[in-house]
Amino acid sequence: MKKIPVILITLFLVISMALMINLNKIESEEAFLNEDYFLIIGHRGASGYAPEHTIESYKLADEMGADYIEIDLQMTKDGVLIAMHDDTVDRTTDGTGMVNEMTLEEIKELDAGSWFNEKNPDIYNEAFVGLTVPTLKEIIEEFGDSVNYYIETKAPHQNPGMEKSLLSLLNEYALLENPLSGEVIIQSFSEESLKIIHNSDSSIPLIQLQGKNDIKKMTKQKFKEINKYAIGIGPSFKYIDKQYIDNAKNEGLVVHPYTIDDPLNIEEIATWGATGVFTNDIKAAEVIAQ
């Protein structure tokens, strides 16, 4: 008889642990839709501390506690998706030329890290010398499901088929099996690109990026229209105010402004009701988020 209480206690502990695991899972899922959770998105990785869009930059962003690593996508001449913001390699490598006019082999020959040391001699790091431009596949193989990905389709009009290649790769690595987990968010300035993805899989969370002119044109109806294919908006911080955020949230949209490094500005948009921020300075954002 004395064994019964022990069995009951053990059973209680097992059930309690299972419930806790399940609750934690629920809390982690759809965090990108939770207004009480302020997302920190590592802009091009930890680009304030390492060369943008390199494996080292993404690793550092993860170590610093970013909720997402942002990856801008360009497509090479031979149809490979790589991590690069500009449509040329000029700014962030020692080469020159349009990305879509160069093969992956040509791009892999470039140094994608030394420029950062030259620009930031106070935080010079020998490990950055000779870093290469990573492909999206290499990034996914490096991090797997240990990080969350915030991916942007850049200049999709110059790279037809980018969306199909992106979804194919994400599916290959089973990153879209549970879209509501928020493991992958896709963003673009191109409404057409987002709608291509939405029409392919309406469960994938999408973000409509907006610049100055887009923001100026926003009306209640336009917020409603965006809500038909996207879960939120990524506006330039310079051109928004609290009313803009209120209007977006009233239509059920999350708001992730870009790109803010000043802690006071990050705190300001948090008090306005923004649900996340793109930042080069993850350390500054972490302080505010806490």
Name residue 126's amino acid.
E
Task: Note the helical H segments in the chain.
Answer: 3-28, 55-64, 104-108, 114-119, 136-143, 162-172, 191-200, 212-216, 220-227, 242-250, 263-272, 282-289
Q: 210-237 burial by CB neighbour count: b if 16+ within 10 A, else e?
A: beeebbeebeeebbeebbeebbbbbbbb
What's the mean pLDDT when you consider all of the chain?
A: 90
- Name the residue with tokens 């409404």: 191
The pTM assigned to this predicted structure is 0.89
Asked whether 149 and 69 are in contact (CB, 8 A), the reply is: yes
Which pLDDT score, from 0 to 100, does residue 280 have? 96
> Long-range contacts made by residues 242-249, C-beta under 8 angstroms, separation at least 24?
242/272, 242/273, 244/215, 244/218, 245/269, 245/272, 245/273, 245/274, 246/273, 247/218, 247/220, 247/223, 248/223, 249/35, 249/273, 249/275
- pLDDT tens digits for 107-163? 999 999 999 999 999 999 999 999 999 999 999 999 999 999 999 999 899 999 999
- pLDDT tens digits for 251-283? 999 999 999 999 999 999 999 999 999 999 998
Q: How far apart are CA 142 and CA 270, in angstroms?
A: 32
Which pLDDT score, from 0 to 100, does residue 289 have? 61
Asked whether 237 and 269 are in contact (CB, 8 A), the reply is: yes
**Higher pLDDT among residues 32 and 77, named by residue:** 77
157 is catalytic: no
Q: What confidence tier does 12 reach under pLDDT thresholds 50, 70, 90? A: very low
Q: What confidence tier does 206 reach under pLDDT thresholds 50, 70, 90? A: very high
* CATH code linked to domain 37-289: 3.20.20.190
Q: Is the pLDDT of residue 284 over 80?
A: no
Which pLDDT score, from 0 to 100, does residue 8 have? 47
Q: How far apart are CA 156 and CA 161, in angstroms?
A: 8
Which pLDDT score, from 0 to 100, does residue 1 have? 44
Which pLDDT score, from 0 to 100, does residue 10 have? 46
- pLDDT tens digits for 88-121? 999 999 999 999 999 999 999 999 999 999 999 9
- pLDDT tens digits for 13-58? 443 443 343 333 334 456 677 777 899 999 999 999 999 999 999 9
- pLDDT tens digits for 94-103? 999 999 999 9
Please work out, in degrees rounded to the nearest 5, the angle formed at the alpha carbon of residue 242 by the alpha carbons of 43 and 36. 65
53 is catalytic: no
Around Cβ 61, how many Cβ atoms within 10 Å?
Answer: 29
Annotated catalytic residue within 53, 85, 198, 256: 85
Annotated catalytic residue within 43, 53, 198, 256: 43
Question: Containing H/E element for 254?
Answer: strand 254-255
DSSP class of residue 32? G
